[in-house]
Amino acid sequence: MALRQIRIMGDEKLEKTCRPVTEMTPRTKELIRDMLDTMYDANGVGLAAPQVGILKRIVVIDVGEGPIVLVNPVILETSGEQTGQEGCLSLPGQAGIVTRPNYVKVKACDENMQEFELEGEELLARAICHECDHLDGIMYVRYVEGELFDTSDEDYDEDETEE
Which positions touch Zn ion (CB under 5 A)? 88, 163
| Residue among 51, 41, 48, 38 at smallest CA distance from 71 | 48
**Residue 81 annotated among the catalytic residues of the structure:** no
In the complex, minimum distance from the CB of residue 23 to Zn ion, in angstroms, rounded to a whole number: 26
Comparing CB distances to Zn ion, the nearer of 52 and 88 is 88
In the complex, minimum distance from the CB of residue 87 to Zn ion, in angstroms, rounded to a whole number: 8
In the complex, minimum distance from the CB of residue 57 to Zn ion, in angstroms, rounded to a whole number: 15
Report which residue's Cβ sits closest to Zn ion.
Answer: 88
* Alpha-carbon distance values, 82 to 43, 66, 132, 148 (Å): 23, 23, 17, 18
User: Do residues 120 and 104 touch, judged by C-beta distance below 8 A?
Assistant: yes
User: Do residues 111 and 133 touch, judged by C-beta distance below 8 A?
Assistant: no
Comparing CB distances to Zn ion, the nearer of 88 and 98 is 88
Q: Which member of 131, 147, 158, 160 is catalytic?
A: 131
Comparing CB distances to Zn ion, the nearer of 24 and 143 is 143
In the complex, minimum distance from the CB of residue 1 to Zn ion, in angstroms, rounded to a whole number: 21
* Alpha-carbon distance values, 106 to 24, 36, 68, 93, 152 (Å): 20, 20, 12, 29, 34
Comparing CB distances to Zn ion, the nearer of 28 and 90 is 90
Residues that are catalytic: 131
